[in-house]
Amino acid sequence: MNVYFIEVFLSKTMFSFIKVGVAAGKAPYGVAKKDDANVNMNRMRDTVESARGVVNDTRNKLIERDQKLGEVEIASKQMSERAEEFASLPHKVMLKQKEKAE
């Protein structure tokens, strides 16, 4: 049994309940406090809302990225077509020059 309680119950001196009440009202360091269920639920709700916001932002960024990649693909095809036209241009000029010379 705890020595403190033995002294309290076997002591013949007047016992101060105020001192015991103050000391007894404080939980020892390291003892977990039980949180209110609503507090835990609110924390969970906040965490879920935060995660939902991050997921929505990521989804919107992915959609935007997909649109930009589509635009880049179209521009790339156009550049490729123009490059082919430009590459064939000297050959066409050469053929015209041959026709004129004949």
- The model carries a pTM of 0.47
Task: Give the residue with greater pLDDT, 30 vs 96.
Answer: 96
Among 19-28, 61-70, 90-99, which stretch is predicted with the lowest mean pLDDT?
Answer: 19-28
Whether 35 shows a pLDDT value over 90: the answer reads no
The string of DSSP codes covering 56-82 is HHHHHHHHHHHHHHHHHHHHHHHHHHH
Q: Write out the two tokens for 22.
A: 């103050």
Q: Where are the domains of the chain?
A: 3-101
pLDDT band at 48 (very low <50, low <70, confident <90, very high): very high
73 vs 63, 69, 77, 82, CA distance in Å? 15, 6, 6, 14
Tell me the pLDDT tens digit for each residue of 7-31: 656 666 655 555 555 555 566 566 5
